[in-house]
Structures are given as C-alpha cells and as structure tokens.
C-alpha cells in the first residue's frame, strides 16, 4: 500500500438495505422520529415554604429556596408563565408547633392551608398538590405517630392523615398526595373525602416509596429527619414503612392495593435509581404513573455540574427523558422551571 493511497478508493461500499443512521442525519429527521418527548405539562414543581417573612436559600439544595408566603406566590406565578401549572408544596414547620402526634397537620389556619388559599387566589388555574404525612409536624421526624415503645403506629396515624387531607381539601387543594406509606391510608382518605363532599379531590398515592439514601437534602430543607425528642426510643430510619430497595414484586402488591382503594395517580419515589419500577407499574396499570426525581438526584447533578464534570442542561434533560422513557406520565422535579425555559 503506497503512502499516498486514496482512502476513499480503499474503503468498501457495503450493500446495506437498512442504514439506521439515515434517520439521525439532521436535527429535523431526528425530531421527526423521536419516540419519547418531554413537555412542561408533564412536570410538577416541588416547592418549600416556611412561615418566616424572608425567602431563605436552602444550603442542602443549591438553587432551591425555602419560600415565604409572599415569595412562594411570586414563584408560582413565574412558573405558570413558563407553562409549569402544577406545584406540590412542602412545609417547614416551626418547632414550637410540633408534637408527638402531629396535630398541626390538621390545623385549618396552619401554613399549608394558607399556602393553598393564596396560590388559588393568585393563580386559580394552577393545580395545587399537597403532601399528606406527619414528618414535618411530628417532633420525632417520622411520617407516622411513634408509640412509647418506638413503633410507628399505622391506624392511629391514618386517623390524623384523614384529618389533614380534609383540611387541605377545604382550603382548595386539587390533589392530596399521601407519602407516608401506612397500610390502608388511600382507602381511608378516599372514604372521608367522599363523606364530606370532596369527591372531586384526587389522590396521588406514593405507591412505591423506597427507604432510599437519596432523601437527605430534602430532610435538611424541612428539618424532618428522624430524631430523639425525649426518653422513648425513636427508630433511626423509616425502613418499617418505606419499601426495601431490593424489592420489585412488593411494588405490584402496593399498586393493587392503591388501585382498589381509589388512587387516581400512582407514584414511584425516587425516580432515577428505580426506572425498572416505573416500567413495572406502567405495564401493570391503566392509571397515570408519576415519578419523583428526588433531592439527592437533584444535588448530584448540581454538584457535578458546579465542579465542571457534567453539562447541567444536557444531564438534566437526559435523566428526565430516561424517566419518561421508563413509563412515567408525570415527573416531579426541582428542575421544572429550568426545563420549561430550555424547551421554550
């Protein structure tokens, strides 16, 4: 072979009737055959709120804010202009309002009912979703009531969750989202909502919520991690009610129960490490499937991007497309406003 041989003359012409690269050749072609699409209408924006007068940056979640009531309404308006018309709100409750049974959760004049009323007054078309669980209100930091023996009480907790759900519905919530993982809570909440006339309030159940290591930044934002408050033993984690990360079939069992109890939407949390669970539920139900890209997933991308190891926009979009491709119809993500701007 001579040094100046023409490479094109040496390259073979393959007789290939099918060349997949033809469909990848230009942006227009790639867009035409794209199988999975992302739209702002599929996104839910999680927001943190406190009763303080000032908005406070959240150190455990760079780029996120613990909003004042005034700041929260302003942020909801901003999101709505970007096409993000669904929010889920999480409260940081003042320690002096917390007790062992989380009764502040059912206070009709409390923080979340006031948040709902203000959002609905300012943005009536925004869908307001509320978290139904006791960990922000419970001095022990658990989603349920802790007995003197250190056991998370199932049925007693559900009684309080039902009161909480009614309080949120009365304030104008569109969807209540029980995230506690107590047995039977979807059916109990559905029954009490119907009994008092809130048949149109939907339930988005945290159907497969795993006992994950990826919740740490969120608990920092709400100061809601389990902690001892007195002499009684407090479980250091939530493994007796949240699901074992090793289990798949158990998610199907939870799905069957939630469907039978009246859930309108089922949710998988976290999203990224549990794409197989999203697909499993998607294949097993006709209900909409939601997935929560949680605080740990958010922080990993933010930290890597800040260090220069990832390009933030590309990484965010790839992870969200992956969640959609796995079968999620709805994604809860802290990146929602950014994604809406990028898509625009």
User: How far, CA to CA in Å, does 160 sit from each of 110, 214, 266?
Assistant: 15, 27, 22
The count of other CB atoms within 10 Å of the CB of residue 36 is 12
Closest CA to 271 of 85, 89, 46: 46
| 302 classed as catalytic | no
Cβ-based neighbours of 149, under 8 Å, separated by 6 or more: 232, 233
Contact of 251 with 280, CB cutoff 8 Å: yes
Token readout for 272 is: 């990224």
Cα–Cα distance, 11 to 88 (Å, whole number): 58
> Exposure pattern of 60-96 as b/e (b: 16+ CB <10 Å)?
ebeebbbbbbebbbebbeebbebbbbbbbbbbbbeee
Token readout for 170 is: 């009365």
Active-site pick, 86, 92, 98, 209: 209
Active-site pick, 86, 92, 269, 302: 269
| 269 classed as catalytic | yes
Contact of 146 with 152, CB cutoff 8 Å: yes
Cα–Cα distance, 150 to 161 (Å, whole number): 19
Token readout for 5 is: 């041989």
Return the active site residues.
209, 269
């Amino acid at each position: 072979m001579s040094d100046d041989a023409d490479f094109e003359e040496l390259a073979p012409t393959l007789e290939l009737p099918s060349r997949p690269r033809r469909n990848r050749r230009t942006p227009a072609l790639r867009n035409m055959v794209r199988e999975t699409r992302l739209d702002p209408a599929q996104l839910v924006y999680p927001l943190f709120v406190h009763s303080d007068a000032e908005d406070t940056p959240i150190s455990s979640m760079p780029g996120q804010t613990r909003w004042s009531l005034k700041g929260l309404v302003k942020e909801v308006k901003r999101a709505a202009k970007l096409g993000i018309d669904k929010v889920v709100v999480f409260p940081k409750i003042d320690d002096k309002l917390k007790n062992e049974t989380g009764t502040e959760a059912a206070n009709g004049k409390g923080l979340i009912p006031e948040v709902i009323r203000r959002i609905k007054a300012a943005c009536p078309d925004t869908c307001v979703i509320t978290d139904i669980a006791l960990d922000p209100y419970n001095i022990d930091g658990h989603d349920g009531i802790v007995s003197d023996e250190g056991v998370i009480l199932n049925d007693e907790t559900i009684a309080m969750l039902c009161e909480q759900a009614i309080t949120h519905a009365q304030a104008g919530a569109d969807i209540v989202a029980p995230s506690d993982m107590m047995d039977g809570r979807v059916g109990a909440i559905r029954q009490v909502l119907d009994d008092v006339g809130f048949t149109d309030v939907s339930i988005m159940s945290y159907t497969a919520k795993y006992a994950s290591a990826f919740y740490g930044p969120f608990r920092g934002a709400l100061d809601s991690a389990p902690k001892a408050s007195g002499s009684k033993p407090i479980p250091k984690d939530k493994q007796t009610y949240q699901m074992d990360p090793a289990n798949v079939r158990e998610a199907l069992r939870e799905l069957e129960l939630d469907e039978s109890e009246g859930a309108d939407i089922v949710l998988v949390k976290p999203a990224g490490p549990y794409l197989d669970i999203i697909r499993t539920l998607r294949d097993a139900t006709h209900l909409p499937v939601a997935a929560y890209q949680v605080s740990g997933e958010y922080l990993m991308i933010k930290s890597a991007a800040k260090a220069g190891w990832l390009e933030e926009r590309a990484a965010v979009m790839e992870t969200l497309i992956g969640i959609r491709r796995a079968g999620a119809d709805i994604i809860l993500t802290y990146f929602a406003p950014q994604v809406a701007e990028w898509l625009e």
